[in-house]
Amino acid sequence: MQTLLIVDDDAEIRALLKRFFVQQGYRVELAGDGDALWRAMGRSTPDLVILDLMLPGDSGLDLCRRLRSRYPTPIIMVTAMGQLSDRIVGLELGADDYLAKPFDARELLARVRAVLRRSAAPVAAGAALVFCGWRVDQTRRELRSPEGVMVPLSNGEFTLLTVFLENPQRVLTREQLLTLARGRGHDAFDRSIDVQVSRLRRKVERDSRNPDIIRTVRNGGYLFACTVERG
């Protein structure tokens, strides 16, 4: 049974979501603020955190940044602020997905299932891929630089990199990247995928402003320019 940690300062929303997800077969922990979140994380690490943006004390964005620096746990950001800028900030800080309030619990369930499925995607034992000197251990979900240094990736960044590795030398539109990385149900014109690409570039490019590996194709999308080999 997978465990979800729901962080929201609205007690009624917490109770409703807990009842809904328990009915769907999940174990659910609840927290109303940052202090309660850290206490819950100290007891046991959940499989996924559903994190509200507007919280008393430390904001959801601050908590997202600290969570990402300490744990690999997937994070879905929930926000009453629907502006694209709020979503982009959340993704910049390492959230794996987001959902604007008000939302249907069934849509949140679909997002939870998709993120958990991606984070636990089975791969062949010992499977490793090499591109432009970089090495990806798919079993351990690790990325190492040409110098052998391990580079930490969020779940969302690793998923996006995997999409590129599975489609080298091919132009992928933003809509295709969204579908392959997050599944259907996202806005086809959602530019937040650009944020994830930017984050990934900062990890793998020598100069992220003049990328050689993940290239922008004008009016097309993105092209993963490296040859990918198994190693």
The region of weakest confidence among 30-39, 81-90, 222-231 is 81-90
pLDDT band at 85 (very low <50, low <70, confident <90, very high): low
Average pLDDT score over the chain: 86
Render pLDDT for 148-193 as a digit per residue (tens, 0 to 9).
999 988 878 888 999 999 899 999 988 888 888 776 555 544 567 8
57 pLDDT exceeds 80? yes
Using DSSP bridges, classify how beta strands 228-230 and 128-131 pair: parallel, antiparallel or unpaired: antiparallel
Q: Stretch 86-113: mean pLDDT, rounded?
A: 83
Find the angle CA(1)-CA(155)-CA(106) to the nearest 5 degrees.
50
Give pLDDT, residue 12: 94
Which residue carries 């990736």 as its tokens?
153
93 pLDDT exceeds 70? yes
Peptide bond connecting 211 to the previous residue in cis, omega within 30 degrees of 0: no
Question: What are all long-range contacts of 136-144, with beta carbons under 8 Å and residues at least 24 apart?
Answer: 136/161, 136/162, 136/165, 138/162, 143/203, 143/204
Render pLDDT for 102-149 as a digit per residue (tens, 0 to 9).
889 999 999 899 888 877 654 444 568 999 999 998 877 889 999 999
Is residue 121 within 8 Å of residue 128, measured between CB atoms? no
Sign of CA pseudo-dihedral 51, 79, 155, 27: positive
Could you give the domains of the chain? 3-119 (3.40.50.2300), 128-230 (1.10.10.10)
**Structural tokens at position 165:** 């590795």
| CA dihedral of residues 10, 12, 15, 19 (deg, nearest 10) | -130
Q: Where are the alpha helices (DSSP H) in the chain?
A: 11-23, 34-43, 60-70, 84-92, 105-119, 155-166, 174-182, 192-204
**Structural tokens at position 225:** 């320019």
